[in-house]
């Protein structure tokens, strides 16, 4: 039986109480660790049966954030290997807890390393625009500021959930020069922008980036203005299924995130669409910054093959 933390984490991820691909990944793995800590297992088989069920439950919370299944699969792949060894349940529990701890530590290290790599691309006097809220992007901007570089940041609001307000607030508290702008003003300010830095919820084998809705429009405006466009993302956001031709599913969320219920009732014939993500084509992307190095979008397939050279559990 899965722990209460698994179900509560599922709900928190699904309802976007936990936001950001990196945070989602760590929350899911933390829930699996909680299952290990709090479960009472009569046998090794019972432990693994519950672990795989918990993993499947967590993976179903959000369809687009590839970090979620990749993080869970990191644990489940190790579990399947360990399962073949047999032995008492307590040994399996201890082993899987170690795997969870490894992922959590590596995730935090990845964010720090991306910050260090990305900060080197920012120069004194630059104007940087970002969209949505990304730990990796925040790490890049804060690290550049800590290095003593003087630059300005524009953060879009990122409707309809306004994640950009979180970004602006965090950066301002760190001492950065930041302005919050409406999404629709991105093209107006793009003429002043030297570079755009965004995160990613998924990266496809062809280098296309799936990120918060509005990212592709920002990328188009940057391409038009010849502003550099960088993506800061941990390698576990690569989508291995796209190597075999599968598409990343784009999540559509409730219309109540866009308009209030009263408006919907008063305008029952109006369809309200609310896609949570869009796809930025690789030709609009200059570099993808990962903890394993910087890659042109056409080069991520090499990293993907290196990381996912064996089948992953469904």
Q: Are residues 163 and 60 in the same domain?
A: no
Q: Are residues 136 and 257 in the same domain?
A: yes
Number of domains in the chain: 2
**Domain end call among 86, 113, 140:** 113
Q: Are residues 210 and 261 in the same domain?
A: yes
Q: What is the pLDDT of residues 219-277, one digit of tens each?
A: 999 999 999 999 999 999 999 889 888 888 999 999 999 999 999 999 999 999 999 99
Residue 312 falls inside a structural domain: no
Q: What is the pLDDT of residues 121-164, one digit of tens each?
A: 999 999 999 999 999 999 999 999 999 999 999 999 999 999 99
Q: What is the pLDDT of residue 309?
A: 63
Rounded alpha-carbon distances, angstroms, from residue 55 to 75, 132, 313: 9, 27, 10
At 160, which CATH number?
3.40.50.10470
* Nearest Cα residue to 55 out of 4, 6, 5, 104: 6
Q: What is the pLDDT of residue 53?
A: 96
**Domain end call among 59, 94, 113:** 113
Q: Are residues 142 and 89 in the same domain?
A: no
Residue 266 falls inside a structural domain: yes
Helix (H, G, I), strand (E, B) or coil at 180: strand
Say yes or no to pLDDT of 109 above 80.
yes
Residue 239 falls inside a structural domain: yes
CA 118/CA 284 separation, integer angstroms: 18
Say yes or no to pLDDT of 90 above 50.
yes
Q: Which helix (H) or strand (E) covers residue 67, if one does?
A: helix 67-83
**What value does the mean pLDDT take over residues 88-105?**
95
Q: Are residues 224 and 177 in the same domain?
A: yes
At 50, which CATH number?
1.20.120.420
Q: Are residues 123 and 224 in the same domain?
A: yes
Average pLDDT, the chain: 94
**Domain end call among 63, 87, 113:** 113
Q: Which helix (H) or strand (E) covers residue 202, if one does?
A: strand 202-203
Q: What is the pLDDT of residue 311?
A: 43
Q: Which residues are catalytic?
A: 132, 201
Q: What is the pLDDT of residues 27-38, one digit of tens each?
A: 999 999 999 998
**What value does the mean pLDDT take over residues 192-211?**
96
Say yes or no to pLDDT of 314 above 70.
no
For residue 156, list its beta bridge partners.
181
Q: Are residues 165 and 80 in the same domain?
A: no
Residue numbers of the domain that contains 288: 114-307
């Amino acid at each position: 039986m899965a722990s209460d933390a698994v179900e509560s984490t599922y709900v928190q991820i699904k309802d976007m109480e936990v936001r950001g691909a990196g945070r989602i990944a760590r929350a899911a793995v933390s829930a699996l660790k909680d299952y290990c800590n709090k479960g009472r297992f009569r046998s090794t088989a019972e432990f693994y049966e519950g672990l795989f069920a918990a993993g499947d439950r967590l993976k179903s919370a959000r369809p687009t954030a590839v970090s979620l299944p990749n993080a869970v699969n990191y644990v489940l792949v190790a579990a399947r290997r360990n399962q073949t060894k047999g032995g008492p349940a307590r040994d399996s529990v201890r082993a899987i807890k170690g795997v969870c701890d490894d992922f959590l530590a590596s995730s935090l290290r990845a964010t720090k390393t991306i910050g260090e790599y990305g900060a080197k691309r920012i120069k004194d006097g630059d104007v940087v625009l970002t969209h949505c809220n990304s730990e990796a992007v925040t790490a890049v901007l804060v690290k550049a500021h800590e290095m003593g570089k003087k630059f300005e940041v524009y953060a879009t609001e990122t409707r309809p959930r306004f994640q950009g307000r979180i970004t602006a607030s965090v950066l301002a508290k760190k001492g950065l020069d930041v302005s919050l702008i409406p999404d629709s003003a991105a093209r107006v300010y793009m003429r002043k922008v030297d570079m755009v830095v965004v995160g990613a919820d998924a990266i496809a084998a062809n280098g296309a980036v799936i990120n918060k809705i509005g990212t592709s429009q920002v990328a188009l405006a940057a391409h038009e203005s010849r502003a550099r466009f960088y993506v800061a993302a941990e390698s576990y956001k690569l989508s291995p299924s796209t190597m075999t031709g599968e598409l990343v599913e784009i999540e559509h969320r409730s219309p109540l995130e866009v308009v209030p219920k009263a408006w919907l009732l008063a305008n029952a014939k109006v369809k309200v669409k609310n896609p949570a993500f869009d796809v930025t084509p690789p030709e609009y992307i200059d570099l993808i910054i990962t903890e394993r190095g910087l890659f042109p979008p056409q080069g991520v397939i090499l990293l993907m093959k290196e990381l996912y050279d064996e089948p992953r559990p469904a």
